[in-house]
Structure 1
Amino acid sequence: MKQLLPVLALMALFLGCKEKVHSEQIVNSSSKRETEGPSSVTVTEKQGGFSLSVNGKPFFIHGAGLEFGNIKSLAEHGGNSFRTWRTGNGQQSGKEVLDEAKKNGLMVTMGLEMGSERHGFDYNDTDLVEAQKQRIREEVMSLKDHPALLIWCIGNELNLNYTNPKVWDAVNDIANMIHQIDGNHPTTTTLAGVSQREIDFVKQKCPQIDILSIQMYGDLPSLPRLLQEYQWDGPYMVTEWGATGHWEVPQTEWGAPLEENTTVKADNYLKRYQNGIAVDQEKCLGSYVFLWGNKQERTPTWYGIFLENGNETEAVDVMHYIWNGQWPANRSPKIVSFVLDGKTAQQNVHLKAGQEYASQLSLTEPDGDNLDFHWEILPESQSQGEGGDHEDRPRSVEGLFIQESGTTLKFAAPSQKGAYRLFVYANDGNNHSATANIPFYVGEN
């Protein structure tokens, strides 16, 4: 018996250690589950002001609208969140989007797509409205516990070209449903612009909406004043803002909107953020700049702050400055002037078919990088959607360039009568570019 005691003691010690290890595994596993559970997102009111918090920590949104853009680069530039327009974008599922956000330390305002009246959705059709609600319920149930989820965004610009106020009843019904099944995340809906009528509708018909979201472009600096004038006393976000809208700029004699070059755009991004977002420290919870990526909307360069090849434009420099308080180490080229046949875009450039013309670009390079240039002529876009709807990119007109010499181009005007644009791109070799375009009209000889 005495000989067995050491053996029994060793066995007890072994079993005790094994039990301890097993207990620690349970604790560690439990802790892991806790950290991977849903984030608790709250909106708090204090002395008439509002703040957003995530798991008890203040969270001011430094965000971007992002559907197919570079999530990693958003984090690297100092952003902390992005928004989507739907749970699945056709390339990634909602979970995959949230997983990538979490991997990069970002939070997501997740879009819940709703039918819009301008696309034929009838909010008088109760069966259709209920089916939409149930589809959204399934989306919410599948994603509500993801730790990267920040806010639910119900629909997008449902007030654009609409007549039926029942849409707001549907929005409120969905927000109420979300609150019943998800106590961790607030709800919002977005307005295209802001008016007394829409503010009144949201206040009266959508009490379940926790945060109002506004989408404005050239007129963004007036937003704090307008919200005060229209008596919106709750919290809000700016979920789209950026370049001057194509509906806000001057047009040529033939109706082509004049796009600002990337340097003018960047200057306006900074002014609009400072005067339309940062100025309101009481009720504004943050913003999502549009667009962290690239898209065709009137032109391939109008709203995306990246080019089609993935290069950053000067607006990305500005967002880096806004989010970090300092400029990036390497910056984009700056455009000074751009003329075609000696004229600017504002001078209604008319060319004759087949005739030879010249264009000159003047610019500066902040870092002294060597630049290369790319030129392109596109027909004026005939695919013109509303509210960000899909547009087809025009095809380049080939075979017109006679001589490309750095910042100067000699070319022959297209042979077919019509409206076109001449684009120039200056690339610094470090994934930064500047771009500008001039609309022109080709008449007969």
Structure 2
Amino acid sequence: MATAPPAAFGVLLVTALLLPMGGVEARTSIVKAGEGWKLEVDGQPYVAKGVTFSGTGGPSNFDADCERLRAQGVNTLRTWGTGEETVALLDAAHKHGLRVLVGLWLRPGRAGMENDDAFDYARDAKGREAQLQATLAQVRRFKDHPAVLAWGLGNEVILNSPDEPSKVAYARFLEKVVRAVKKTDPGHPVLSVDAWTLGVPFWEKYVPSLDAYGLNVYGRGIHALPEAVRQAGGRKPWFITEFGAQGEWEVPKDARGVPQEPGDAEKYDVIVDGWRNALAPQVQAGRCLGLFVFNYSSAFDHTGLWLGMLSGTAMRPAWHAVREAYTGTKPAPALPVPVRLEVQGLEKEGVATWANVAFDVTAATPLEVSFAYNARGAPTREERDRVTALEARKGATPGTWRVRLPAVTGAIKLYGLAKDGAGNLVAATTSVAAPASP
């Protein structure tokens, strides 16, 4: 099951304005090809080699963002919703030869996703109509932009609906929206996005007008996905609309109850293996139309460190994995490799508690080492996502450190971070029982 999307790209739908767009509209189609399908742009075959996009600092950075991503072998971006930034992104994408799977946000059916919003699809007829009209306004606004590849309706709404009647009500509404979008814009396919294959039975039964499925999938389960689609009754092509390492929601927890984050080597390998070995045969067979790796963002937070391609200005292993997957180019110099992060004991020093930490990293060049923590059990979402730097001193022996722990209640995730001279940041994680707040 996929994680809720970041808020960085704004989910607020804005008033439609007809804007002049440069260039000529690109028409996209999904056509039958033997026993499968193929995606075409202006009659030419197209496979989406994509990333989900939150950006690194707003519209002023979009030009540089798109230029960098193009150099990585990326040809397509995916967003979750539209907003005032969308025009700037589409313009930057077009300038650099990228296309965009434009997200059209539909409200989740229960709290837990964006802004803890929740909408009753079974009873709120006025709200349904408002969402429909807002969605069509965005389609009219952007449909003639040459960077638009397709429309992606909703994100994990079926997953985040409280019961079967709510899921059915949403699916019936979704069919109405799909038909209206296709009538408004016959030139671009429409898909809907949900977690794993949970949406497939509902789409097949209630949303026949969809052109393709959008599936959010994480971890090595990508190899089992094609058969899972078949068993769920899927009869249409699909995109992997989010992908990366195994997520927090499905990993085992350690003895302190902290989810055990995959190592950086696994995060790297799963992306390259997923594209080359799990999806390449499905692309060849005409079932998979493309991939979007999660996520292009500079956020230095819990999700950014776990799944992101960048952390601040530093490059995480996923950055290089995307390039190797799409171009075959390996990182040079080789990335540092965390070998061990281990808390070897706690000591009191006045009112402070210090952890004696062993942090070993194999690297060809000197490293800038730091430590940080995350309190995943904190009461608010903002606190649960925050990653905070910790004071640290070198220990008595090489590879050891004294790290001052925060005064928080409960177990925390401890990060060992190592940055090389090329701007690559690697991380290792463990947990420790922090001292209680005074």
Q: TM-score range by the shorter chain?
A: 0.7 to 0.9
Counterpart of 1:130 in 2: which secondary structure? helix
Give yes or no for contact 1:176–1:208 (8 Å, CA) kept in 2: yes
Corresponding position of 1:131: 130
Corresponding position of 1:252: 254
Cα pair distance change 1:191/1:297, threshold 3 Å = farther
Structure 1 gap segments, 5+ residues each: 1-32, 342-349
Q: Confirm whether residue 61 of structure 1 aligns to residue 65 of structure 2.
A: no
Deviation at 1:295, TM superposition (A): 4.3
Counterpart of 1:201 in 2: which secondary structure? helix
Q: Confirm whether residue 316 of structure 1 aligns to residue 319 of structure 2.
A: yes
Cα pair distance change 1:244/1:294, threshold 3 Å = farther
TM-score by length of 2: 0.82
Q: How many angstroms apart in 1 are the aligned matches of 2:380 and 2:264?
A: 22
Q: How many angstroms apart in 1 are the aligned matches of 2:232 and 2:408?
A: 51
Deviation at 1:192, TM superposition (A): 1.1
Structure 2 gap segments, 5+ residues each: 1-19, 57-64, 111-116
Deviation at 1:378, TM superposition (A): 3.9
* Structure 1 counterpart of 2:95, from 92, 96, 103: 103
Amino acid of the structure 1 residue aligned with 2:394: Q
Q: How many angstroms apart in 1 are the aligned matches of 2:213 and 2:262?
A: 30
Deviation at 1:250, TM superposition (A): 1.3
Q: Confirm whether residue 284 of structure 1 aligns to residue 292 of structure 2.
A: no
Q: How many angstroms apart in 2 are the aligned matches of 1:167 and 1:180?
A: 20
Q: How many angstroms apart in 1 are the aligned matches of 2:354 and 2:380?
A: 30
Q: Confirm whether residue 403 of structure 1 aligns to residue 394 of structure 2.
A: yes
Corresponding position of 2:224: 222
Counterpart of 1:37 in 2: which secondary structure? coil
Counterpart of 2:413 in 1: which secondary structure? strand
Counterpart of 1:231 in 2: which secondary structure? coil
Corresponding position of 2:4: none
Corresponding position of 1:148: 147
Corresponding position of 1:168: 171
Deviation at 1:325, TM superposition (A): 2.1
Corresponding position of 2:368: 372
Identity of aligned residues (%): 26
Cα pair distance change 1:295/1:170, threshold 3 Å = farther
Cα pair distance change 1:101/1:220, threshold 3 Å = same
Give yes or no for contact 1:351–1:413 (8 Å, CA) kept in 2: no
Corresponding position of 2:12: none
Q: Confirm whether residue 293 of structure 1 aligns to residue 287 of structure 2.
A: no
Corresponding position of 1:12: none
Q: Which runs of 4+ in 1 moved over 4 A?
A: 294-300, 350-356, 412-417
Q: How many angstroms apart in 2 are the aligned matches of 1:326 and 1:296?
A: 26
Counterpart of 1:340 in 2: which secondary structure? strand
* Structure 1 counterpart of 2:120, from 119, 122, 126: 122
Cα pair distance change 1:104/1:115, threshold 3 Å = same
Deviation at 1:171, TM superposition (A): 1.4
Q: Answer with 46-55 or 296-305: which moved more.
A: 296-305
Count of residues in Structure 1 that have an aligned counterpart in Structure 2: 391
Q: How many angstroms apart in 1 are the aligned matches of 2:387 and 2:317?
A: 26
Deviation at 1:430, TM superposition (A): 1.6
Counterpart of 1:277 in 2: which secondary structure? helix
Counterpart of 1:214 in 2: which secondary structure? strand
Give yes or no for contact 1:352–1:413 (8 Å, CA) kept in 2: no
Give yes or no for contact 1:351–1:440 (8 Å, CA) kept in 2: no
Corresponding position of 1:361: 359
Counterpart of 1:436 in 2: which secondary structure? strand
Amino acid of the structure 2 residue aligned with 1:53: E
Q: How many angstroms apart in 1 are the aligned matches of 2:267 and 2:315?
A: 13
Amino acid of the structure 2 residue aligned with 1:320: R
CA deviations 1:151-170 (Å, max 9, x no partner) are: 10011111123121111122
Deviation at 1:300, TM superposition (A): 4.7
Amino acid of the structure 2 residue aligned with 1:265: K
Q: How many angstroms apart in 2 are the aligned matches of 1:100 and 1:355?
A: 49
CA deviations 1:375-413 (Å, max 9, x no partner) are: 22343452576xxxx775436375x53436874312344
Q: How many angstroms apart in 1 are the aligned matches of 2:88 and 2:405?
A: 47
Give yes or no for contact 1:133–1:174 (8 Å, CA) kept in 2: yes
Corresponding position of 2:8: none
Q: How many angstroms apart in 1 are the aligned matches of 2:421 and 2:66?
A: 22
